[in-house]
Amino acid sequence: MSIINICINNVNREYYLEEGSSGIVLENIVKDIESEYKGYITLANINNKLRELSYKVKEDCNIKFIDTTNADGSRVYSRTMSFIFIMACNELFDKARVTIEHSLSRGLYCEVHTNTKLQDFDLKNIKNKMQDIIDKNYKIEKISTTKSNAIKIFEEHGMYEKAELLRYKEHDDVKIYKCNNYINHFYGHMLPSTGYIKTFDLKQYENGVILLGPSESDKTKAKEYVPQPKLANIYKEAEEWAKVIDVDKVITLNKIIENNQYGEVIRTVEALHEKKLSQIADMIKEKKKRVVLIAAPSSSGKTSFANRLCIHLKVNGLNPVSISLDDYFLNREDTPLDEFGKYDFESIYAIDLEKFNSDLKSLLDGKEVNLPKFNFKTGKREENYKKLKIKENQPIILEGIHGLNPILTSSIHDEDKFKIYISALTQINLDDYNRIPTTDLRLIRRMVRDHNSRGYSAKHTIMNWD
């Protein structure tokens, strides 16, 4: 018998390894400490490498367990929960196509493609079947195989899009998952067995189902369903756009690129976007709005959208003026800190609200204002960067993550404001069961922007990304 020293969250613990044992399974360690965590533990960071809970520890190491309150941990839970949902639907609806579409109302919007709309009793049956699969605690086995063999397996199971997509994979090693004779591939880590899904719920929504995982505040309760009709309509519109350009999955886009036909796709999407911008510009002119507020999650394209909207407003006879909220940042040393002691650049109080509101009101009153400019490389605001005075036909365009927060423009009457929310929504998925999270797309955009305009490395961006 030997002893393995494991440091878990800066606390040293000793574990005994039996003679001939291949290691200590992380699952066994989790049983001792899970009560200390706010969420369900789903993953482990061992010496800076992510490991599934089925991983065996063979030597001294540092472990940081990851739970469902963390983005990576939540994704592991969601993938496993989705696998169980797919299994349940396959058993209840013979040969029906099941798709995991996109995030919506704090959960995942899924569809079961049957001849009739899902009824209340269908939802109840799915939930009961999922619970049955969970109660039986089927093992979710990770199988390493070659790319060619994985393609063969997926073709045998009718997963042709997944098989086609694998042909583009550079490395030959493929990880697939098997659970009670069901085979699938989720492009990410999974939980060791179905019994790890302790909290879930289903809510019927239009033609589909919203799959809800555990709440961040109380893991024993499912997330509260919050209707988001406007966002749902935007997703529908995005799906219609996908039909117009005839691109519904990544594999379709890959083939278009291979055949050198991507130019037409880009031009069509640009035309659709320009049409939408034109409609918005018409509304702004018709309602005689003086301040246009554009809000979005970080790295969603707010600045690009604002610049293009300005062009459409000019076509309508207006002469818009853009003001960047970034230029009203407090000097870096005055920026508020988050709970971890890091600069919280995304807090609304990182903005000099008093000066911003004073300048904005003065501009609307017809006064001349000296605008500042923030230098991201020095972390200092440069005052009196340029003078500005506007006329009646000059709406002010403001873009930033806090654009819709009433605190930002507290000095301005609501009737003068036109509010816009944009987001870089992903409208194509990898396959029927795997979506591309919008946060991944925004992170890539942020890395490029931070490198080009703010002097930050990719590592810095990733380290500061929520």
One fold for 2-67 and 72-226: no
| pLDDT at 226 (0 to 100) | 86
Phi, psi of 428, rounded to the nearest 5 degrees: -125, 145
Average pLDDT over residues 23-50: 92
Sign of CA dihedral 337, 343, 344, 350: positive
| pLDDT at 427 (0 to 100) | 67
CATH number for the 2-67 domain, one of 1.10.10.10, 3.20.20.140, 3.90.25.10, 3.10.20.30?
Answer: 3.10.20.30
**pTM of the full predicted structure?**
0.82
Could you give the angle at the alpha carbon of 129 between the alpha carbons of 124 and 131, nearest 5°? 95
Answer whether residue 448 shows pLDDT above 80: yes
Answer whether residue 350 shows pLDDT above 80: yes
Note whether 381 and 373 are within 8 A (CB): yes
Tens digits of residue pLDDT in 379-431: 999 888 889 999 988 999 998 888 899 999 999 999 999 999 988 776 688 89
Best CA proximity match to 301, nearest among 449, 173, 80, 411: 449
| pLDDT at 418 (0 to 100) | 96
Q: Rounded distance, CA 401 to CA 19, Å?
A: 57
Per-residue pLDDT band for 446 (boundaries 50, 70, 90) equals confident
Note whether 61 and 52 are within 8 A (CB): no
Q: Rounded distance, CA 27 to CA 163, Å?
A: 32
Residue bearing the bigger pLDDT, 173 or 10 = 173
Note whether 95 and 70 are within 8 A (CB): no
Average pLDDT over residues 84-107: 91
Q: Rounded distance, CA 134 to CA 179, Å?
A: 11
**Record: fold of 72-226:** Threonyl-tRNA Synthetase; Chain A, domain 2 (3.30.980)
Distances (CA, A) of 413 to 294, 297, 357, 418, 431: 17, 25, 12, 11, 47
- 226 Cβ contact partners less than 8 Å away, ≥ 6 residues apart: 105, 106
Going from N- to C-terminal start, the domains of the chain cover 2-67, 72-226, 250-421
CATH class of 250-421: alpha beta
Answer whether residue 122 shows pLDDT above 70: yes
Average pLDDT over residues 131-136: 98
Average pLDDT over residues 201-229: 92
CB atoms within 10 A of CB 413: 10
| pLDDT at 103 (0 to 100) | 87
Tens digits of residue pLDDT in 166-190: 998 888 999 999 999 899 999 999 9
- The rounded percent of the chain whose pLDDT value lies above 90 is 56
Residue bearing the bigger pLDDT, 300 or 317 = 317
Q: Give the E-state strand segments of 134-270 in sequence order.
A: 141-146, 173-179, 182-184, 201-205, 208-212
Mean pLDDT of the chain: 90
Average pLDDT over residues 126-143: 97
Tens digits of residue pLDDT in 242-298: 888 888 889 999 999 999 999 999 999 899 899 999 999 999 999 999 999 998 877
